[in-house]
Structure 1
Amino acid sequence: MLFPLLVLAAPRLASAALAVPFVKPAPCPTCSSPNYVGPNNGSLGHTEFVPGKAFGRFIQIWLENTDFHVAASNPTFQDLAKDGVFLTNYLALTHPSEPNYVASISGDFYGLGDDNYYNIPENITTIVDLLVQNGVSWATYQENLPTIAWAPDFTQTNYYYVRKHNPLVIHDAIANTSQAAFIRNFNDFAADVTADVLPQWMFITPNLVNDGHDTTISYISSWLKYWLYPLLQDKRFNSGEDEDGTLILLTFDENETYSTRNAVAGLLLGSAVPKHLRGTTDSTLYSHYSTLSTVEGNWELGNLGRGDVNATLGNVFGFVADKIGFKNTDTPIASEPQTNLTGVFPGGLSSSNWIPFTAPNKNSTLFGGTKVRPGNQLEY
C-alpha cells in the first residue's frame, strides 16, 4: 500500500473555521487507512490488568476551541449526554492550546503562554511515570502522526497533525525514553483495537479537521458519529462494567472566546459510568487537572504535587470521588481563579517572565503521596 509523501508543515496561522462536508478518513474507526499517513507499528502486547476502584480504563478525547454554550446546544452532544454525565462546570486552564495540553500530563503549564516548540525537561514527573510505576498500561493515539514520537508538525492535503496537541511528546521524560514507543498513530489504534490490546490509559487527539480547530462544531459532530458512536458499542474499546469498565472523557482544550470565563463542555461516557447517573449533570468545578487527580485516585498512583492536588481545580470526577472517599471542594464562581488569561504567568516556559522550573509540593499525601522521577538530582 502506498502512503503519501511526508511533508513538513509551515507554521500554521490561526484560521477561521471552515464549513466543509465531512469525509471519512477510514472505512471504519477500527480500519487502517492511508489517510492516517503512517502504517501501523504492530499491535501492543497484552498486559496485566490493574483493577481500579471506579473504572478499569480511562480514555480522554480532546477537541478544540469551542465555547461551552456552542457544544451544550449541539444535538450530537445532547444525544451523547443521554448516556453519560454532562459536566456543566468544567474549566480549561489558560490560553492558547498548548499549555492546556501540557498541564493535563504533568500538572502545570510552567508559564507557557503560546503555541511554540518547547521541550519540558526530563526530570519533570508526568502521569506516565505514575502509571508505569504502578503497572498501568498506557498509550496516546494521535491522528496523522507519521511515525512513533514524531516531533515536528506534519501536513498533507486536508489532514494536519500538530505537535502542540500532543502533550506526551512535549515532555522529555516520555519522548526521550523507551516510553516514546507508546506515542502512536490512528493506524496503530486500529491494530490495537482489532487485537483487543488497548491499554488502560489513553489520550486521543484527532487531527485539526476532525477536532474542530479548522472546521466547525457540525464537523466535529459528524466525526463523533463516524468514530465514537460505533466504538461505544465495541467492548474492545468500551469494556466491562462499573469498576472494571471504561470511563471516557470527551472535552475541549479551551473555549473560543478569550474574554469570557474559560468554560468548556465535558462529557463522562462509557461502561464505568453508573447506570443511575446516565443522563444527569454535574455542576462541581472541574478542570483539566481533574483528569490527573481522577486517575491517580482510581489506581492509588500517588500524585504529581502540582495542579492535581490543587484544592480548587483538582477535584475528582464526582462518582469516582464517591467510590474512593475523596471530598471535593465546593468553590463559588466568584472565588475561582482566573483561567482565561494568556501569557502572564511566571515559569520555566514563560517568554516574558522566566523563572526556573519549580519543585512540586512534596508534602501532599493524596493518593499515596507525591512521587518523583527516580534518580532526579536537578529539580527536587
Structure 2
Amino acid sequence: MKRIAAALGALSCAISGAFATEGPVPTGIPHLDHVFVIMMENHGYSQIIGNPNAPFTNYYARTTNLATNYFAVAHPSLNNYLEIVGGSNFGVQSDNYPDWHNFYCTTNLASGTANTDTPASPKVCPIAGVGTDAAIPAIDTTNETQGAPGTVNIDGQKSYAANKHTSGKTIADQLVASGMSWKSYQENLPQEGADNVNYSDGLFTNNTNFAAILPPMTPALAQSGIVALYAAKHNPFVYFQNVQEGWDPNNSLDNVVDFTGAGGLYADLASGNVPTYSLIAPNQCNDQHGRGNSDQSCAYDPSDDGSQSGLNPALILRGDMMLRKLVGAIKKSPAWHKGKNAIVIVWDENDYSLSPNINQVPVIVDTNYAAGGVQSAVYYNHFSLLKSIEAGLGLPCLNHACDTDLPTMSDLFMGSGPAAAQNGQGSDKSIGVPLVPGATAAVSNKLGNSMQ
C-alpha cells in the first residue's frame, strides 16, 4: 500500500513537472523531420580536428559544417548528456548509477543538493518534478579531479548559477507531448533491455551471477571483469522517473534499443522507420572513451594533457571508423531522403586536462537540404544545441535552452559555405574517404566493409 501511495505521489510530482513553464519555441532553424545526434567521448577540439588518425571525421568536418567555438558545459559525462537532452544537470554532477525505481528517495531537484563524486553521493534518485539544479562553476575542483588547479568547465570563465525553476523533463517528454517520437540507440545494450542495467558488454551485465556459471571461471578471468561497453551514464533518459516507470508507453524504456536486432538502429535505418529524434551512443570502445580492461585499440589514452601526442591513436581511429559507418548507414536510409534532416556529431567533454586548457569540443552538423562548408566561430555550448534542435522540431525551449544570451546554431543548420559548389544538396560525404592514414582506397574500403 505504501508503495502504491508513493507511486501516486511520484506520478503527481512528475505531472506537475510536465506542466512547468517552458519558454517560447526558438527560431532560426528550418523545420526538421529527423535529427540524428551521435555522441562521442572525452576529447577536445584540438585533439580531433587535424588529427591524422581521424581522416573521416576531418573530411566530414571540412565538407559539412563545423563549430569552431563550441564548449561542453561541465564534467563528468552524465552532466553533459543531461544538458544536451534536458538543458540542465538536474542536480547531478557525477556518473553515479540510477537508483532504479526508487519512489522513496528525494530528488536532487527537490533537495537542492548536488549528486557529486567528491564528496561521494549515493545513486541518482529518479529525476522528476521541479526544483533547483546544481550551479556550474568555471573551475571544478570536486568531481573526479580534486584540488587546484581544477578542471575547466566551459571556457574557464563562464559559469551558471543554480536554477531554482528547473523542470525535470527532457526533449523526449516534449516530443511525445507533441505527437512525435524518440529513441536512444545504445550499442551493446543487453538483450533484456536497459531496465536495472548499469553496464554491460552486450551479454553480461552488472546483474549477472557469475557464480552460477559452471565450471567456475579462472581467477584471472574473473578478476578482469566485464568490459563496460554499454554504460547507463551515456544513456541520459534512463535517469528519469517517467521513463523508468513507463507510464506512457511512448516514453519508456522500450525507447532504448541496441544497434542490432529487430527495432535496433541498423534495422530502423534500413527500413526508413526512424523516430523524429535519435540519440546514438556507440559503445565505450567505439566512442573514443576507452576501457582499461579491453584490448589495445580500446585502451585509455596514455596522457590526459590535451595534446594529440598523449592519445591512443588506435582508439581515435576506432572511433573514426565507427563514425564513417554510422554516417554511411544514415545516408543510405530511405528516411534521409525524405523531408529535411540533420546529423549532429558532438563530443560530450574534453579529456579532463587541467587549466589553462578549456572544455572546447568539436561539433559537426550535416543536413540534406543545404550545402556545407561553414566554420562557425560563434560561441555555442550544449544548451545551444538543445535550443537549436527544439527550434527545428517546433518545441518550446527547456531550462537553460531558454537562456537569451545563447542563439540558435542557425549558421550551422543553414550551411552555405565554400564547399557548396563541390558538395551539392544531399550529397553522400561518407563514400571514398580513406579510413586509415596513407591507406589505398582498396584497403580503406575493405576495412570499412569489415565494420558493416
Structures share fold, TM-score greater than 0.5: yes
Partner SS for 2:174: helix
CA distance in 1, matches of 2:269, 2:413: 29
CA distance in 2, matches of 1:290, 1:130: 17
Indicate which of 269, 283, 288 corresponds to 2:377: 283
What is the aligned partner in structure 2 of residue 87 from structure 1? 67
Say yes or no: does 1:218 pair with 2:317.
yes
Say yes or no: does 1:135 pair with 2:227.
no
CA distance in 1, matches of 2:257, 2:69: 31
2:269–2:330 Cα contact (<8 Å) kept: no
Indicate which of 300, 303, 307 corresponds to 2:400: 307
Say yes or no: does 1:250 pair with 2:256.
no
CA distance in 1, matches of 2:413, 2:271: 33
Say yes or no: does 1:108 pair with 2:154.
no
CA distance in 2, matches of 1:237, 1:220: 24
Partner SS for 2:280: strand
CA distance in 1, matches of 2:125, 2:259: 24
What is the aligned partner in structure 2 of residue 172 from structure 1? 241
Say yes or no: does 1:57 pair with 2:57.
no
Q: Deviations over 1:106-131 (max 9, x none)?
A: 21113422211224423322211111
Partner SS for 2:92: coil
Partner SS for 1:264: coil
User: Given the superposition, is the C-alpha separation of residues 110 and 84 from structure 1 closer, same or farther in structure 2, using an over 3 Å criterion?
Assistant: same
CA distance in 1, matches of 2:279, 2:317: 23
1:149–1:175 Cα contact (<8 Å) kept: no
1:237, distance to aligned residue in structure 2 (A): 4.8
What is the aligned partner in structure 2 of residue 234 from structure 1? 332
CA distance in 2, matches of 1:202, 1:301: 16
CA distance in 2, matches of 1:287, 1:59: 18
1:164, distance to aligned residue in structure 2 (A): 0.4
1:231–1:237 Cα contact (<8 Å) kept: no
What is the aligned partner in structure 1 of residue 257 from structure 2? 184
What is the aligned partner in structure 1 of residue 128 from structure 2? 122
2:183–2:275 Cα contact (<8 Å) kept: yes
CA distance in 2, matches of 1:321, 1:76: 20
CA distance in 2, matches of 1:290, 1:176: 30
CA distance in 1, matches of 2:335, 2:347: 21
Q: Which amino acid aligns with 2:199?
A: D
Q: Deviations over 1:1-49 (max 9, x none)?
A: xxxxxxxxxxxxxxxxxxxxxxxxxxxxxxxxxxxxxxxxxxxxxxxxx
Q: Give ranges in structure 1 of 5+ residues lacking alignment.
A: 1-51, 324-380
1:63–1:211 Cα contact (<8 Å) kept: yes
CA distance in 1, matches of 2:330, 2:414: 24
1:198–1:236 Cα contact (<8 Å) kept: no
Q: Which amino acid aligns with 2:256?
A: I
1:321, distance to aligned residue in structure 2 (A): 7.8
Say yes or no: does 1:270 pair with 2:316.
no
Q: Deviations over 1:331-372 (max 9, x none)?
A: xxxxxxxxxxxxxxxxxxxxxxxxxxxxxxxxxxxxxxxxxx
What is the aligned partner in structure 1 of residue 275 from structure 2? 199
CA distance in 2, matches of 1:232, 1:194: 9
Q: Give ranges in structure 2 of 5+ residues lacking alignment.
A: 1-28, 98-123, 130-167, 205-225, 291-297, 299-314, 416-452
CA distance in 2, matches of 1:104, 1:174: 17
Q: TM-score, normalised by structure 2?
A: 0.55
Task: Specify which structure has the higher proportion of helix.
Answer: 2
1:255–1:264 Cα contact (<8 Å) kept: yes
Q: Which moved more, 1:290-299 or 1:91-100?
A: 290-299
2:127–2:239 Cα contact (<8 Å) kept: no
Indicate which of 313, 316, 325 corresponds to 2:408: 316
1:250–1:267 Cα contact (<8 Å) kept: yes
1:91–1:288 Cα contact (<8 Å) kept: yes
What is the aligned partner in structure 2 of residue 71 from structure 1? 48
Q: TM-score, normalised by structure 1?
A: 0.64
Q: Which amino acid aligns with 2:90?
A: Y
RMSD: 2.2
What is the aligned partner in structure 1 of residue 434 from structure 2? none
1:76, distance to aligned residue in structure 2 (A): 2.2
Q: Which amino acid aligns with 1:248?
A: I
CA distance in 1, matches of 2:75, 2:184: 23
What is the aligned partner in structure 1 of residue 199 from structure 2? 153
1:249–1:268 Cα contact (<8 Å) kept: yes
2:365–2:413 Cα contact (<8 Å) kept: no
1:81, distance to aligned residue in structure 2 (A): 1.8
Give the fraction of aligned pairs with identical amino acids, expressed as a percent: 26
Partner SS for 2:68: strand
Q: Which amino acid aligns with 1:223?
A: M
Deviating 4+ runs (over 4 angstroms) = 156-159, 320-323
Aligned residues: 263
Q: Which amino acid aligns with 1:92?
A: A
